[in-house]
Structures are given as C-alpha cells and as structure tokens.
C-alpha cells in the first residue's frame, strides 16, 4: 500500500527533525544558510544570484543528509569492524566538505 502525499510530508519532516537534532554540522550549515539569505536580502541581490545561492545551500544540506543516512547504514552493516567502514565515512565527509568549499567560493564570488 502506498503512502498518501500527507504521510510522505510527515516522514520527510520527521527526517528533517532527526538530522537537525542529531547532526551538529547540519545545524551549522543551516545557520550559515540563514545568514547568507539575510545578507542576500540586505544586499538586494539579483534573482539569478539569489537562485544560485539557494541551489548551492540546498546541495550542501542535502549532501549532509545523505552523509548522515549512509553513515548510519554503514554502522548497521559494518559497525567499525571492517576497514572499509572508516573509509566510507571519510569519503562521505570529503563529499560534504568539497561541496561546502565550492559553495563558499560561489558565495564569495556572488557577494564580491
């Protein structure tokens, strides 16, 4: 039996609550996103620049959620007993770090 649209939104909302509650990096990224949005509003950025900022912020936060989900999966399947478990987590962290660095560069270019 499939979910209703409302149930899907409830599950997604619950996922957002989980990541916001359990992942410090996600909370930091969310705070930075709010500050960037306030700066964009204050500077009256043009629509295209604003959309680009929204996209890169969404990308970083979505990748953080993917990172958290896969890390939990790795913990279930290979809880620190397999050499690849640590490597998988390091690769996931590198993915989010790389996206964050490029998001910051894009932000600086837009604001400067």
pLDDT at 81: 72
Structural domain containing residue 97:
5-111
Catalytic positions are 64
pLDDT at 21: 96
**CATH number of domain containing 50:** 1.10.287.3610
pTM exceeds 0.95, yes or no: no
d(CA 69, CA 93): 12
Question: What pLDDT, in 10s, does the model give residues 40-72?
Answer: 999 999 999 999 999 999 999 999 999 999 999
d(CA 59, CA 46): 20
d(CA 23, CA 35): 19
SS3 assignment, position 80: coil
d(CA 46, CA 97): 27
Q: How many domains does the chain have?
A: 1
What tokens does 109 get? 């270019």
């Amino acid at each position: 039996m499939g979910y209703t649209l409302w149930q899907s939104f409830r599950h997604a909302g619950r996922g957002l609550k989980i990541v916001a509650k359990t992942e410090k990096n996600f909370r930091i990224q969310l705070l930075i996103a709010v500050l960037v949005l306030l700066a964009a509003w204050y500077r009256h950025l043009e629509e295209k620049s604003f959309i680009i900022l929204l996209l890169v912020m969404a990308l970083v936060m979505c990748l953080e959620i993917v990172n958290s989900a896969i890390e939990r999966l790795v913990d279930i399947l290979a809880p620190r007993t397999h050499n690849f478990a640590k490597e998988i987590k390091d690769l996931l962290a590198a993915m989010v770090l790389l996206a964050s660095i490029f998001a910051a560069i894009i932000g600086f270019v837009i604001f400067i």
